Amino acid sequence: MIIERPSSARGEVDLGWLRSRHTFSFGHYHDPAWMGFGPLRVINDDTVAPGGGFSPHRHANMEIISVVLQGALAHRDSTGTVGMIEAGDVQWMSAGHGIEHSEYNGSGSGAAPVHFLQIWIQPDRLNAQPAYAQQRFEPAARRARWATLASPDGVDGSIAIRQQATLRAAGLQPGDEVSASRDPTRLYWLHVATGEVAVGERVLKAGDALGFVQEADALVIRGIAAASDVLLFDLPA
């Protein structure tokens, strides 16, 4: 079974300083048909204006991954961690038994917005110690190939997260292809972060997504317009 999630059908928030599109129910956007996909609970496509940001707030028992697509995101949390996450960087924060954090546009009063994906994955354990990691994945190194950003065991230099889930990313120019084998006992979610790609006869643009349930054949993704970035989630059913 293939589930289609067009970008235009996502929830939308515009607060002036924040423009966000929600793949799944989040905050004031609630749709019982879109509460998540397996343990994948949130994909928010956020653009934060210069000077804007999320003031300190608290979470518990959630794996939070931020993938910065453009600009810089400043982070601070209650464990004392302070960092700047730039385009090409991935941030992981395991909220565990509870953590307070804030994120702001790291360009300060400059003219550049920060565009990033905020991803929440439910953990496979509760009330663990909060944890944080940040890692750079050079865009050139994932041209027409998968880079593993997050995994249960930190395989291939990825960030180790607290769930039996793997997040991979690839960059595609027109004509480039990547493929991925699939286990029919697991779930897969493909999210187009930027650009335009083809999956079989389907054309997907930035923000579009497909979910795959009990699919066993190889998944082939082809770049068709400009530079494209795609994320593939491999999830427990």
Same domain, 104 and 217: no
Q: How far apart are CA 234 and CA 237, in angstroms?
A: 10
Same domain, 150 and 120: no
In this prediction, residue 62 carries a pLDDT of 96
Between the CA of residue 178 and those of 9, 81, 167, 175, 199, what are the distances in Å? 26, 36, 15, 10, 10
Q: How far apart are CA 164 and CA 115, in angstroms?
A: 27
pLDDT digits (tens, 9 = 90+) for 13-48: 999 999 999 999 999 999 999 999 999 999 999 999
Whether residue 2 lies inside any domain: the answer is no
Are the C-beta atoms of residues 101 and 77 closer than 8 Å to each other? yes
Query: Considering only CA atoms, which of 61, 97, 102 is closest in space to residue 83?
Result: 102
Same domain, 79 and 160: no
Would the pLDDT of 115 be above 70? yes
Whether residue 4 lies inside any domain: the answer is no
Tell me the residue length of the chain: 237
Same domain, 108 and 152: no
Same domain, 166 and 114: no
109 falls in which pLDDT band (50, 70, 90)? low
Same domain, 40 and 152: no
Q: Domain ends where: 137, 168, 185?
A: 137
Residue 233 CA neighbour count, 13 Å, CB half: 30
Same domain, 127 and 18: yes
108 falls in which pLDDT band (50, 70, 90)? low
This prediction has a pTM of 0.95
pLDDT digits (tens, 9 = 90+) for 44-71: 999 999 989 898 889 999 999 999 999 9
Q: How many CB atoms lie within 10 A of CB 38?
A: 19
Q: How far apart are CA 181 and CA 162, in angstroms?
A: 23
Q: What percentage of the chain exceeds 90 in pLDDT?
A: 87
Helices and strands, counts by H and E, the chain: 0, 20
Domain membership of residue 82 as a residue range: 10-137
- Phi/psi at 84 (nearest 5 deg)? -120, 120
Would the pLDDT of 111 be above 80? no
Same domain, 169 and 56: no
Q: How far apart are CA 71 and CA 192, in angstroms?
A: 19
Would the pLDDT of 79 be above 90? no
pLDDT digits (tens, 9 = 90+) for 157-174: 999 999 999 999 999 999
Say how many domains are in the chain. 2
Kindly state the average pLDDT of the residues 207-215.
97
Whether residue 1 lies inside any domain: the answer is no
Same domain, 28 and 113: yes
The CATH number of the domain where 223 resides is what? 2.60.120.10
In this prediction, residue 81 carries a pLDDT of 87
pLDDT digits (tens, 9 = 90+) for 123-142: 999 999 999 999 999 988 99
Q: How far apart are CA 83 and CA 39, in angstroms?
A: 27
Instruction: Name residue 187's amino acid.
Output: L
In this prediction, residue 225 carries a pLDDT of 83
Query: Considering only CA atoms, which of 70, 75, 101, 102 is closest in space to residue 86?
Result: 70
Same domain, 159 and 147: yes
Q: Domain ends where: 111, 137, 163?
A: 137
Same domain, 72 and 104: yes
Whether residue 147 lies inside any domain: the answer is yes
Whether residue 5 lies inside any domain: the answer is no
